[in-house]
Amino acid sequence: MKIYRVGGYVRDTILGVRPSDCDYVVVGSNENEMLQLGYKKVGNHFPVFLHPNTHEEYALARKEYKNGINHTSFMINSDNVSLEEDLFRRDITINAIAEDDNGNFIDPYDGIKDIHAKIIRHISPAFMEDPLRILRVARFRAKLNFSIAVETYEYLKQMIKLPDVMTISKERIINELNKSLDTHHSSLFFITLKEINGLDKFFPSLSTQLLTNLDEFIINIDKLKSKTEKLLYLSEYCAENPQEIAIDTNTLKQIKLYHTINNIDLTANPNQILAQLKQLNIWRAYKIFQNVAKYNISIRKFLNKDCSIIFQLLLITEKITLSDTSLIINHSKPQQIKDKLQLHFETIIANELNNIK
């Protein structure tokens, strides 16, 4: 029984990037032995186990065989599988490098060479069997700012035409999108899909909107720093169908609130601002409002200018009177006023949220 580090941990180590979670592959063992050693099996489909102490994932070396058009339709064999055979089933060369206990790299498919050349390259024709790899390659290009090998590009162009593409779940698509938005070169994710005629397969309304705005989009999205900021910017192109880029409830609420706030006239008189904000039930979604406000330029400028918007929000709760406000404001400097109102408002909001059933 031999254990090796594999995948992203090894790739990032070679790149000089601080690795995150580590995956291990186990060669020369079987399910019974793993269970006897105290490992706990995860799921039923793949031979993956959790270490009894560290709870890190250890997978038996395995082969995979495609047996259907669904992208999850694979048969698994983990009997007497070598390390090289396990690495061969992986998607791209830079992810098919192993490291032993002594720090030696096992690199049968020249992944280290491709890392130094900054190239993303498939390992074998079996690459075409999993359409999710289209999104993974696009995401790795955004993450690493690597180029894609010509022959791999040709495979991607062929894969996007196959019916398997339509079997990828929305959750998996959104997951790859979110990981791409966490990178410094997010535009490369969309550029890659556009170049292989795949943007309309995964994000049809976005594809339609970017027909005439792609250059502007590419320039702008890489200027943004956080995933949230990029997602909200992206939602401007998917305003009619936000489910295309987000599916969890909180994110969809955030996108909706973002677009609603964008339509508020913050230069109007206080009564008009108050009327608009009341419609949002802003105190019942204060945390979402705070997050949106950070990435809404007009809101951010207004908050930096003075505390009037916070004052209006305080009034909306109907839990504070003008006389209470005057006590807070009395004999205070402008920044102190803003800080006190903010703190008071947050306390009110916290109580409101606790009262929601």
Per-residue pLDDT of 340-354, as tens digits, reads 555 655 565 455 445
Q: What is the pLDDT of residue 285?
A: 58
Phi then psi dihedrals of residue 99, to 5 deg: -135, 130
Beta strands in the chain (DSSP E): 2-6, 23-27, 40-42, 48-50, 57-60, 63-66, 74-77, 98-99, 105-106, 119-120, 147-148
- Check residue 122 and report its DSSP letter: B
Q: Which tokens go with 110? A: 């020249």
Q: Which residue ranges form the domains of the chain, and what is each CATH number?
A: 1-116 (3.30.460.10), 131-234 (no CATH), 249-355 (no CATH)
Q: What is the pLDDT of residue 70?
A: 63
The three-class DSSP label of residue 119 is strand
Q: What is the pLDDT of residue 280?
A: 62
Q: What is the pLDDT of residue 356?
A: 38
| CA–CA separation, 109 and 349 (whole Å) | 57
- Mean pLDDT per segment of 10 residues, for the chain of length 357 residues? 94 90 92 94 85 93 76 75 95 97 96 98 94 97 97 97 93 96 96 95 92 89 90 90 93 84 65 61 58 62 49 46 50 54 55 45
Q: Whole-prediction pTM value?
A: 0.78
| CA–CA separation, 160 and 173 (whole Å) | 14
Q: What is the pLDDT of residue 266?
A: 60
Q: What is the pLDDT of residue 317?
A: 44
